Amino acid sequence: MQHAGSPEGYVLAKVSSVAAQLLKRGWHDFSTAEKETFFHQIKQASLGIHGVHVQFIGINFLESLVSEFSPSTSSAMGLPREFHEQCRRSLELDYLKVFYCWTRDAALSVANKITESDSAVDEVKVCTAALRLILQILNWEFQCNSNGKKGVNVFSSGIRQDAGLSNRSECILVQPGPGWRDILISSRDIVWLLNLYTALRQKFSHEGFSIDCPIAVSARKLIMQYCSLTGTIFPSDNGQLQEHHLLQLLSGIIHWIDPPDLVSKQIECGKSERSLFSESPSAAGYFSDYVLVTHQILLSCLCSEMLDGCRALLAMATVTSPTMFNQLLKSIRPFGTFTLLSTLMCEVIKVLMTKAPDEETWSWEARDILLDTWTALLMPLDSAGGIVLLPPEGVDAAATLFTFIVESELKAASASAFNDDVDSDYLHTSISAMDERLSSYALIARAAIDVAIPLLTRHCTERFTRLHQGGGSLDPTETLEEVYSLLLITGHVLADEGEGETPLVPTAIQRHIADSVVPDKNPVVILCSSIVRFAEQSLNPESRSSFFSPRLMEAIIWFLARWSQTYLMSPEGSQDSSYSSKADNMHQVQSISSGQTVLRYFSEYDHGKTVLDIIVRVAIATFMSYPGEKFLQGLTCYQLLHALVRQKNICIHLVTLESWSKLAIAFANEKMLFMLNASHQKSLAQTLVLSASGFRDSESANQYVRILMGHMTAYLVEISSKNDLKRVAEQPDTILSVTCLLERLRGAASASEPRMQKSIYQMGSSILNSTLILLEVYKHESAVIYLLLKFVVEWVEGQISYLEAQETTVVIDYCMRLLQLYSSHNIGKISLSLSSSLLNDAKSEKYKDLRALLQLLASLCSKDLVDFSSDSLEAHGTSISQVVFYGLHIVTPLISLELLKYPKLCRDYFSLLSHMLEVYPEMVGQLNNEAFSHILETLQFGLHHQDSEVVNMCLRALRALASYHYKETASGKMGLGSHASSLRNPKGELQEGIFSRFLRTTLQLLLFEDYSPDLVGAAADALFPLILCEQGLYQKLGNELIERQANQTFKSRLTNALQSLTSSNQLSCTLDRMNYQRFRKNLTNFLIEVRGFLRIV
Amino acid sequence: MSDEEHHFESKADAGASKTYPQQAGTIRKNGYIVIKGRPCKVVEVSTSKTGKHGHAKCHFVAIDIFNGKKLEDIVPSSHNCDVPHVNRTDYQLIDISEDGFVSLLTENGNTKDDLRLPTDDNLLSQIKDGFSDGKDLVVSVMSSMGEEQICALKDIGPK
């Protein structure tokens, strides 16, 4: 290990990592004294007593040692996790600090030589390695903090706990305990390091020689790492020490980024010079190449230095409060850190604006890091959603920055207005990135809300008037694009995304005390109203054609959807209003917050209804006046209207609006709406039906649904009762109408709510016969068939639990006819096509159909579990179980093993099957031979499936069958009768009874195959009744197993294990809970005992 | 509603027509479309805009239902596309003749003898094997825009 001179870097690294592994393996076996002597040698080496090369190797070894002992980077050793954990703790407690000191001393010992001489290559190597090691030590996952959490976490698999944080930004917090204080903080290390870096910097910039070399990079990384120091390492002295520490660092870092304009100019100058060089013909040959290379190096160095500076700011922002963050710079500069941050970012954005969007530049990265810094400052992780109070300077800085951001975004928008070669794929991937950026902007804007809102209002009004003045003569595209991005920014600033919940008014707007309580003068109200008014203008055909482009409408709809979720008729607003109307009388409204003012302004008592009306009319306009604009209409359907009907209090008003009933009437009659994309029609139907929950009583709700859907059902019945249906049906326009009708009905069916249940049931039941006719007619038109099946599935699913016995019988009969018809059309059918993709399509269509049918059966099943009807089904002689088994019998022949390869279908099928077998095992005995053997085959198949969930379900089914049979036969009944016993099949071969077969299979599985340990419990539950059913066979199999073992010890171990499997733990022959549990325990022990030698790898 | 019905009626009368116009935006995946004079099944639809503030257009990728070739088309989404009338009829398979024709039994008891067997070996063997096994086979014949082809077969005989 001390053969130092070897030049082979890779070999060295390997050797040291092997040595580290060896050391770790033997960690507990070495005595302390042995370790002491060993580490003494290392120490000697790393301090440079044996020369520079040995020093380098020593440090290298320490590095591999640390990485080996850190759980996330350790190599697999086939040892228990506990062992790794113990090693980690031991190293952290006893050695890590020592290593740190050695490394630091090593670095110190060579640092001077590096700064003084030009040729200290080996020293540089050592120093770099040392810096890297320090960095690694600081990256250690410190756990033994002072808060005494020393328990070994056996379950976490070495993933850092703060993974969420490192996800958000690139900085990882360093939280060593207070034990490290004297070493890290109190010593002069930081000053030394900063000095070292400054020295390096000067030296390199003088000589024009590579300054982006590893040593400089490691030094910078280490400095950043020091910036992220936090936690109990700092004493609780109001952060004085921490402030001092950060100040030290900042004074070193500041040169990298301040003054921002100079830095960015330097970088950009370098760029342009470079481009100058690359443009010049290569006449200068070698010389220009040389200069070019140096230039590039210098440039990339400046960039990365600047980026690292930004990262350091981010690290500081993460560990400090905004106030402290701002204070830091005050002592060395006349302004605070916020100002620096803001100017820096403005500078970055300025550079960014001059670049083409697809050019990969440093400014992108810098902007993202700085945005993260703002986010870290404005939304610290520990204060969940609370507001962060910025120092006044911070607010000003945010205001300046936001103003600048908006301006540059607008500029970017108008500049990009005519790029229409945007690749749509690229667009979609960048949308989420854009969203993230916009929400960071929103945070900045909310930090300076007083400035941001009026600013946005001003920009909006300016653009709106410009559009009007243009009046069609000028090309409005640039302005349109500006309005587009303004709407996006404003939407993000004003409201949060709901993500399924009702978002609250952002705290900044909520808390912001308005200058005047008069709502008309509230800046937020002004901004919102001006946008709503602008949206309203899209109703005017003239202005619509001149400047409301589809893209602009998309932004408007998006804005309205987002905004209305937060502000429109919020229940909070109406409560406040009723309360404050009293307060008004008492003249006590002096301190109503801005948020309440806005909410009240848009509540149902004030302007809410007018705005709602406008929104609905705009929505109608997007359907009627933008034909074929699928994306826009999708936004209206899925975002805007869905968001509206999700809120009960909005529904109440919706149904009273004239515009809403206009939409409903148009939906029922207007041809334009039949031209919508079919799935949009589905969504629209759902929305319209859902809004019926806004009616006070169920009578009028049902009436509304009846009127709404009446046309559709009548139309469908009419189509299906045509005499020449067969001929007409295949015409494309008929297919289109049927498709649309089915989608609409499906949408309505999926909106089943107790209040509208009656009318939706009537809607479905009136077309049952028609659907059967259509099923026949369209048997070759798989797209129609699928829709039809989906409609039935959703309708049954929504209705089944409410139906009375009479109705249930009708529905069940219908479903059976449907199943029979479908099966008669499809069984044994083979599609022929030249195109493999069309064949695949046919296959996946079939799969979707079958899945729908299984869902149908599953929802029928649920009737036995959830039933709101008044009388019991049995009274009417219908048994759900019979029906579902019959259904399964129809469906199973259609399901080929090929189709079971689709994982979703497979799960659906097996969950239905195992449910049936578990709940109604008695039905199995009544199945005919064919159906029965089909079920068995699929069970066999399922047992060997790779999806452990499927295997689990099969085992549950087996358990149910076997235990049913055992209990029945024990009480002298038939059980599964002939199915269970061995039979001679027609060819005269002996066929085993099912339980014998499954006993074999299960044992085989348990003993010899690979499976997830989670399955052992379920397997035990299945095996136990199986053994009880087939005791003779079990004995025989056991004996066979024992006979097969050649090794005597194994033989006796196996005998004993088999013995104790069935006898230990007072296992008895009854199938009760106690025994199942005992058997589980026995089986686990049995497997642990024998699988090791039975299974040969 | 009556308006709609009327529209529908009139189309029914024009039964001889091979294609129908339909708004491009309403054509979905798995629907039919005519591209370059060929009846196709749509396997992929995507939309984009003509210019940032322009109107939507649909991009169709479709497969010729007869020869399996892939075709593509871009149509403004509010414009009409031609949609082929695709007809499928079931016949019982009576005979396969030596010269590559099939003999089919129509619903009214006549025979239809003008349909060629597919030339593709794979498809051909699927049909021939089933027939030579003595199964009762029903073939579905797909016809559109003056072309015909067997598109599926189904065993209806008792086992």
Give A829's contacts in chain B (Cβ within 8 Å): 152-154
Q: Is the CB of A669 less than 8 angstroms away from the CB of B48?
A: no
Q: How far apart are CA A918 and CA A958, in angstroms?
A: 9
| Per-residue confidence (pLDDT) for residue A1009, from 0 to 100 | 78
Give B81's contacts in chain A (Cβ within 8 Å): none
**Closest chain B CA to residue A546:** B53
- Nearest-Cα distance to chain B for A784, in Å, is 10
- Name the residue facing B51 among A420, A674, A736 (closest C-beta): A420
CA A1093 to chain centre: 43
DSSP annotation of A1076 reads H
Q: Which two tokens stand for residue A1004?
A: 């085989």
Which of A176, A256, A179 has its CA nearest to residue A219? A256
For β-strands A829-831 and A990-991, DSSP reports them as unpaired
Which of A366, A371, A531, A507 has its CA nearest to residue A438? A371
Q: Which two tokens stand for residue A404?
A: 């600048």
- Name the residue facing A780 among B15, B41, B88 (closest C-beta): B88
Q: Is B143 left (phi over 0), alpha (psi -120 to 50) or beta?
A: beta
DSSP letter string, A169-184: SS---B---GGGHIII
- Name the residue facing A780 among B12, B23, B140 (closest C-beta): B140
Q: How far apart are CA A603 and CA A601, in angstroms?
A: 6
Q: How far apart are CA A390 and CA A290, in angstroms?
A: 50
Maximal C-alpha separation, chain A: 105
**Closest chain B CA to residue A725:** B12
Q: How far apart are CA A513 and CA A483, in angstroms?
A: 28
With a cut of 50, list the residues of chain A below it in pLDDT: 1-6, 145-170, 208-211, 272-291, 383-385, 423-428, 576-590, 1097
| Per-residue confidence (pLDDT) for residue A786, from 0 to 100 | 93
- Nearest-Cα distance to chain A for B144, in Å, is 11
Probe site for chain B from A544, A636, A733, A776 (most B CB atoms < 10 A): A733
| Per-residue confidence (pLDDT) for residue A738, from 0 to 100 | 92
| Torsion sign (Cα): A389, A395, A398, A402 | positive
Q: Is the CB of B47 less than 8 angstroms away from the CB of A630?
A: yes
- Nearest-Cα distance to chain A for B37, in Å, is 16
3-state SS of A696-735 is CCHHHHHHHHHHHHHHHHHHHHHHHCCCCHHHHHCCHHHH
Residue A237 CB burial class (10 angstroms; 0-12, 13-18, ≥19): exposed
Probe site for chain A from B5, B26, B60 (most A CB atoms < 10 A): B26
Helices (H), A280-321: 286-319
Which comes out higher in pLDDT, residue A191 or B38?
B38
Q: Is the CB of A830 less than 8 angstroms away from the CB of B85?
A: no
Side-chain half-sphere exposure of A369, counting CA atoms within 13 A: 22
Helices (H), A768-804: 768-777, 782-799
Q: Write A117-124 long-range contacts (CB < 8 A, 24+).
A: A118/A207, A122/A52, A122/A53, A122/A56, A123/A52, A124/A213, A124/A215
Q: Which residues pair with B89 in a beta bridge?
A: B141
Helix (H, G, I), strand (E, B) or coil at A192: helix
The answer to whether A249 touches A191, Cβ cutoff 8 Å, is: no
Q: Is A471 left (phi over 0), alpha (psi -120 to 50) or beta?
A: left
- Name the residue facing B120 among A477, A630, A834 (closest C-beta): A834
Kindly report, residue by residue over A476-515, the tens digit of the pLDDT: 888 888 898 899 999 999 888 877 677 888 877 777 655 5
C-alpha distance from residue A774 to each of A746, A787, A818, A848 (Å): 15, 11, 11, 18
For β-strands B38-49 and A829-831, DSSP reports them as unpaired
B123 — contact with chain A (CB < 8 Å)? yes
Residue B146, phi then psi, degrees to nearest 5: 80, 10
Q: How far apart are CA A733 and CA B22, in angstroms?
A: 8
DSSP annotation of A513 reads B
The answer to whether A348 touches A366, Cβ cutoff 8 Å, is: yes
Residue A167, phi then psi, degrees to nearest 5: -65, -45
Q: How far apart are CA A1082 and CA A1063, in angstroms?
A: 9
B67 — contact with chain A (CB < 8 Å)? yes
- Name the residue facing A731 among B20, B66, B142 (closest C-beta): B20
Which of A651, A653, A715 has its CA nearest to residue A688? A651
DSSP annotation of A730 reads T
How many C-beta neighbours within 10 Å does residue A770 have? 20
- Nearest-Cα distance to chain A for B115, in Å, is 15
Q: Is the CB of B53 less than 8 angstroms away from the CB of A551?
A: yes
B143 — contact with chain A (CB < 8 Å)? no
* Unique residue bearing structure tokens 């939507």: B56
Size of interface A-B (CB pairs under 8 A): 168
C-alpha distance from residue A793 to each of A569, A711, A844, A859, B126 (Å): 35, 22, 18, 8, 35
3-state helix, strand, coil in chain A (%, to 5): 75, 0, 25
Q: Is A945 left (phi over 0), alpha (psi -120 to 50) or beta?
A: beta
Please tell me whether the interface predicted TM-score (ipTM) of this complex is above 0.95.
Answer: no
The answer to whether B33 touches B73, Cβ cutoff 8 Å, is: yes
Q: Is the per-residue pLDDT at B12 higher than 90?
A: no
Maximal C-alpha separation, chain B: 63
Residue A752, phi then psi, degrees to nearest 5: -55, 125
Give A552's contacts in chain B (Cβ within 8 Å): 53
Q: Which two tokens stand for residue A239?
A: 């952060």
The answer to whether A973 touches A1054, Cβ cutoff 8 Å, is: no
B11 — contact with chain A (CB < 8 Å)? yes
- Nearest-Cα distance to chain A for B53, in Å, is 5
- Nearest-Cα distance to chain B for A485, in Å, is 13
- Name the residue facing A732 among B20, B65, B156 (closest C-beta): B20
- Nearest-Cα distance to chain B for A820, in Å, is 15
DSSP annotation of A635 reads I
Residue A354, phi then psi, degrees to nearest 5: -85, -5
